[in-house]
Amino acid sequence: MELSGAEIVVQFLKDEGVEHVFGYPGGAVLHIYDAIFRQEDVKHILVRHEQGAVHAADGYARATGKPGVALVTSGPGATNAITGIATAYMDSIPLIVLSGQVQSAFIGSDAFQEVDAVGISRPCVKHNFLVKDVHDLVSTLKKAFYVATTGRPGPVLIDIPKDTTDIAIKIPYVFPHHISMRSYNPTVKGHSGQVKRALDLLASARRPMLYTGGGVILSNASAELTEFTQVLGYPITNTLMGLGSYPGRDKQFVGMLGMHGTYEANMAMHECDVLVAIGARFDDRVTGDVEQFCPNAKIIHIDIDPASISKTVRVDVPIVGDIKAVLTDMLKELKGVKKQNDSKALENWWKQIDKWRTADCLRYDRNSALIKPQFVIEKLCEVTNGDAFVTSDVGQHQMFAAQFYHFNKPRRWINSGGLGTMGFGLPAALGVQMAHPGAPVACITGESSIQMCIQELATAKQYDLPVKVINLNNSYMGMVRQWQEFFYDKRYSQSHMAVQPDFVKLAEAYGHVGMHIDKPADVEGALKEAFAMKDRLVFLDFVTDEKENVYPMIAAGKGQHEMHMAPEWELI
Amino acid sequence: MRHIISLLMENEAGALSRVAGLFSARGYNIESLTVAPTEDSTLSRMTLVTIGSDEIVEQITKQLNKLIDIVKLADITEGEHLERELMLLKVLANTAEQREEVKRMTDIFRGRVIDVMDATFTIEITGNGHKLDAFIEAMRQSDIIETVRSGATGISRGSKCLHV
Ligand SMILES: Cc1cc2nc3c(=O)[nH]c(=O)nc-3n(C[C@H](O)[C@H](O)[C@H](O)COP(=O)(O)OP(=O)(O)OC[C@H]3O[C@@H](n4cnc5c(N)ncnc54)[C@H](O)[C@@H]3O)c2cc1C
Ligand SMILES: Cc1ncc(C[n+]2csc(CCOP(=O)(O)OP(=O)(O)O)c2C)c(N)n1
Ligand SMILES: [Mg+2]
């Protein structure tokens, strides 16, 4: 088969199994768009802003485990994509971003719409390439998919000068089924000696704790994690990124940990004597003050990225490997031997944890005349049987979603944790809906976040993506307002969204259904009505209590045991 | 602690900027950095001198290893190793007296005068950083016009080696 560079790009995507590409055209990628036009296998979704394209590809990837693909033009197309790329990078999401570039001969001459995309993206990609010769295109594409999806996943950018995709130059094309790179060989299997040391340590634990994160989801190891946890009978907490990897309603689950995690999860972390970190990276939102982190614990850490190990907190038993493989090995060993656990100690540990649980740290005022954001999420969880795909923006609403929607399955909770990108929620939801047509998809957002990528409402209309937008409208950048209330003596500098659009009319203007809800009694009905409209995007604008804060909270730089509870209640 | 890290990397455009970018983005120290092709034209070898606590140097080597273009890496200061740096030094040498003095010092340090002009001598000298520092110190009496140092390179002793 003889193909032009542009045709190679599209044919390769098809052969690689890519069904959807999210993108936006421009001069440098016109050859590729022409090749897209002349085929039907790879479907192109035209977004309204390149940031939206990358977030949508990212949402698609998070919801499926397959790499997301975005296509943007040179210059402003590439720079608009950067926020999306950095978002995916921080959460280790596999993405391929194809950016057009000016003709190779013009590179470096400040040509029209030239930007050094490889240079600009370098700090926020797993790897990137510039393909100046069409003969290198296929091998580069193959490498890009391989690098993006293996080891610790991440975004890979391929910058393609216009002459590389020239329609007039045709070369033979063969899809490469395999690739190997001498400089890149991620470790999959855990070291057996380390696995054994970890198991010995686990068996000796009196107050064990499992701390698991996004790596479990990335490794598709929820089943193994669930079995591992249940065979051991130990308490388990998830990071924000790990929610859904263990059933959220199970009795061994003590909730999310960290800055806005539960009292029981954080106290159990502080008091445990053996900690098993699985696919979690000891982020500062989790550890608080590292000096005071898990002061009594020996730490086991399973992670595929050696650089994640002992980065912020020194660990005692590191295991480098893929979680699925390592947990499978551990389970085999565990079943072979009798548990040597001190069962009395474990019983006492659970008693202690149950005592912490009685603090009921997520309590909120259920009799309020104003709509409480927590109440909306609780109802959303009920109405969707805890089974929807839920994307989120960034702010208080994100934390309420994490605390009150009990995720039972992996890849259902889709949010920007590492970069914390406002504007992520809506385009990500479109990507999720594209991947799972017919499945309920909710985007939990705030009046400030939603306005950062609101233009994607048009994309939703064009492709009939019936996402339910749950706007928790507190008229404030609530998360910012909360910090100003606590730490700046209520000087609410620039955090009030004094002027807002009429979201109902706005939704209607884009061809969607808008609903305005301002009474607690109407919340459930509105949600039911919205989810009953299976083929429409419904924008639900909930007017919520603008004074509500997210509790519990560990102030930045404090230890995990130094939680603030909502002011009304005391610690036990 | 001072560490010398040797890297073999794919001879690709941009590989050097990935290393430099990593150091600036993560706030690591670079004392010196040298890079040149090897006998295998697909590989370059880089020698990086950095200073940091054991924890930081551990992170540096892990982060470097993560770069896709890096094929192999070793902290050669972990074992016995040889370290060499090249310096070129241009001094004023107008009078016979000056010339004699410069020549004498150069011999003591086992350097070589490689260029003789009307008013200047250029000396080539290799050694580890301390030796080069000491030579500069010793030449203080003379008028140093210019110095240029290559940055350290190094190699492990014995059978230990860095190759693919
Ligand atoms: C407003 C706001 C508030 C937040 N508050 C909290 C909070 O209260 N609590 C909280 O937990 N987070 C919170 N976060 C999120 C926080 O910033 C981090 O994103 C999050 O804690 C990181 O999660 P993680 O440790 O699971 O790591 P991830 O970023 O999910 O990283 C995954 C880890 O797993 C490893 N890995 C990947 N694939 C594999 C594999 N196949 N096998 C083995 N290992 C693998 C990776 O190398 C990496 O180390 C908040 C974010 C925002 C925006
Ligand atoms: C792009 C971007 N800019 C700024 C911030 C800082 N920030 C974090 S939360 C937040 C407020 C979000 O407000 P809203 O979307 O209304 O959510 P709420 O906290 O009110 O639920 C801001 C400004 C950010 N995370 N992302
Ligand atoms: Mg708000």
Rounded Cα gap, residues A154 and A148, in angstroms: 5
CB A284 within 8 A of CB A558: no
Rounded Cα gap, residues A309 and A327, in angstroms: 17
Residue A427 has pLDDT above 70, yes or no: yes
What pLDDT is attached to residue A100? 98
Which residues have any ligand 1 atom within 6 Å of their CB?
A 91-92, 152, 213-215, 218-219, 239-242, 256-261, 279-281, 283, 285-286, 303-305, 308, 322-323, 394, 398-399, 417-418, 420, 479
For the CA of A307, the nearest ligand: 1
What pLDDT is attached to residue A342? 82
* Chain B neighbors of A312, CB-CB under 8 A: none
DSSP assignment of A21-34, as one string?
EEE---GGGHHHHH
CB A242 within 8 A of CB A213: yes
| Residues in contact with A399: Cβ distance below 8 Å, sequence separation at least 6, in sequence order | A260, A479, A550
- At residue A40 the predicted structure's pLDDT band, cuts being 50, 70 and 90, is very high
* Residue of chain B whose Cα is closest to the Cα of A305: B66
- At residue A268 the predicted structure's pLDDT band, cuts being 50, 70 and 90, is very high
**Per the structure block, which two tokens stand in for A71?**
């296509």
- At residue A339 the predicted structure's pLDDT band, cuts being 50, 70 and 90, is low
- Collect the ranges in chain B with pLDDT lower than 70: none
Which residues have any ligand 2 atom within 6 Å of their CB?
A 393-397, 420-423, 446-449, 472, 474, 476-480
CA distances from A148 to A9, A61, A186, A397, B164 (A): 17, 11, 12, 30, 24
What pLDDT is attached to residue B164? 87
Residues A228-232: what's their mean pLDDT? 96
Rounded Cα gap, residues A53 and A80, in angstroms: 10
DSSP assignment of A154-175, as one string?
-EEEEEEEGGGG-TT-EEE---
Strand residue runs (E) in A32-90? 43-46, 68-72
Q: Mind listing the pLDDT tens digit for each residue in A160-199? A: 999 999 999 999 999 999 999 999 999 999 999 999 999 9
CA distances from A8 to A73, A133, A298 (A): 17, 13, 52
Angle subtended by helix axes A373-383 and A396-404, to nearest 10 = 40
Residue A284 has pLDDT above 80, yes or no: yes
Listed as own residue / partner, the contacts of A568-571 with beta carbons closer than 8 Å and 24 or more positions apart are A568/A363, A569/A359, A569/A360, A569/A363, A571/A263, A571/A359
In 3D space, the residue among B114, B8, B22 whose CA is nearest the CA of residue B64 turns out to be B22
**Beta carbons of A123 and B18 less than 8 Å apart:** no
CA distance A530 to chain B (A): 46
Task: Using the structure block, give the residue that is written with the tokens 């050859």.
Answer: A31
What pLDDT is attached to residue B141? 86
B18 touches chain A (CB under 8 A): yes
Rounded Cα gap, residues A25 and A8, in angstroms: 18
Residue A151, amino acid: G
- At residue A338 the predicted structure's pLDDT band, cuts being 50, 70 and 90, is low
**Beta carbons of A123 and B21 less than 8 Å apart:** yes
In 3D space, the residue among A70, A19, A45, A36 whose CA is nearest the CA of residue A463 turns out to be A45
What pLDDT is attached to residue A304? 98
Rounded Cα gap, residues A274 and A199, in angstroms: 11
- At residue A340 the predicted structure's pLDDT band, cuts being 50, 70 and 90, is low
What pLDDT is attached to residue A570? 45
What pLDDT is attached to residue B148? 98
- At residue A139 the predicted structure's pLDDT band, cuts being 50, 70 and 90, is very high
Q: Mind listing the pLDDT tens digit for each residue in A506-565? A: 999 999 999 999 999 999 999 999 999 999 999 999 999 999 999 999 998 899 999 988
Strand-by-strand arrangement of the A274-278 sheet: A253-256, A236-238, A208-212, A274-278, A298-303, A317-320
Rounded Cα gap, residues B10 and B23, in angstroms: 18
Q: Mind listing the pLDDT tens digit for each residue in A285-310? A: 999 999 999 999 999 999 999 999 99
Ligand 1: atom nearest CA of A91 is: 29
What pLDDT is attached to residue A496? 98
**Beta carbons of B17 and A310 less than 8 Å apart:** no
Residue A319 has pLDDT above 80, yes or no: yes
Residues A376-392: what's their mean pLDDT? 98
**Beta carbons of B13 and A130 less than 8 Å apart:** yes
Residue A572 has pLDDT above 50, yes or no: no
What pLDDT is attached to residue A336? 73
CB B85 within 8 A of CB B147: no
**Beta carbons of A122 and B13 less than 8 Å apart:** no
Residues A115-136: what's their mean pLDDT? 98
Q: What is the 3-state secondary structure (H, E, C) of A78-144?
A: HHHHHHHHHHHHHCCCCEEEEEEECCHHHCCCCCCCCCCHHHHHHHHCCEEEECCCHHHHHHHHHHH
* Chain A neighbors of B18, CB-CB under 8 A: 122
Instruction: Give me the active site residues of A, please.
Output: 50, 112-113, 162, 479
Q: What is the mean pLDDT of chain A?
A: 96
- At residue A571 the predicted structure's pLDDT band, cuts being 50, 70 and 90, is very low
What's the helix, strand, coil split of chain A in %, to 5?
40, 20, 40
**What is the distance in A from the centroid of ligand 3 to the CA of A264?**
28
